[in-house]
Structure 1
């Protein structure tokens, strides 16, 4: 799994919104929410039997303060996640 606080996330392009902070925007809450969501997603994938050793995720706060999670998977892992989602859809259960 990728450490969300690791600064080396190589394929990330420069985004000016990442360096401009606006007074009054609560970036910490957005980042914290994204950190929790990323960990929850990784735990859910592991519980579903997904091999999370190659999973990389990074939490961030967007320019408006909302949280976002960036997820990087190999092509094989993406196919596996897609199969898991289709199985859930067939069961008709989400949440």
Structure 2
């Protein structure tokens, strides 16, 4: 889902809609997530723990997910957080 954590009631985020090209969006997200995961591995991060995950939004837009802890670890590896 792409809804904020406190709002998981938006059915548009969980239902497929006829006529929306989800596959193209997912393919784009997958390519971006793979590229991000290569960068993360290059930074020395364990990609079993820190990884980008492809997703597609309700309207077919490509989305790449990170877990909050993954985002924090990436920020630390880039030297922008403690």
| TM-score scaled by length of structure 2 | 0.66
Instruction: Show the counterpart of 1:19.
Output: 15
Compare the two structures and name the one with the higher helix fraction: 1
CA-atom RMSD in angstroms? 2.5
Match of 1:66 among 49, 55, 61: 61
Instruction: Show the counterpart of 2:44.
Output: 49
Corresponding residue pairs, total = 73
What is the CA–CA distance in structure 2 between the aligned matches of 1:44 and 1:56, rounded to whole Å? 10
State the 4+ residue runs in structure 1 displaced beyond 4 angstroms: none
| TM-score scaled by length of structure 1 | 0.59
CA contact (8 A) 1:45 1:52 kept: yes
More deviation in 49-58 or 37-46?
49-58
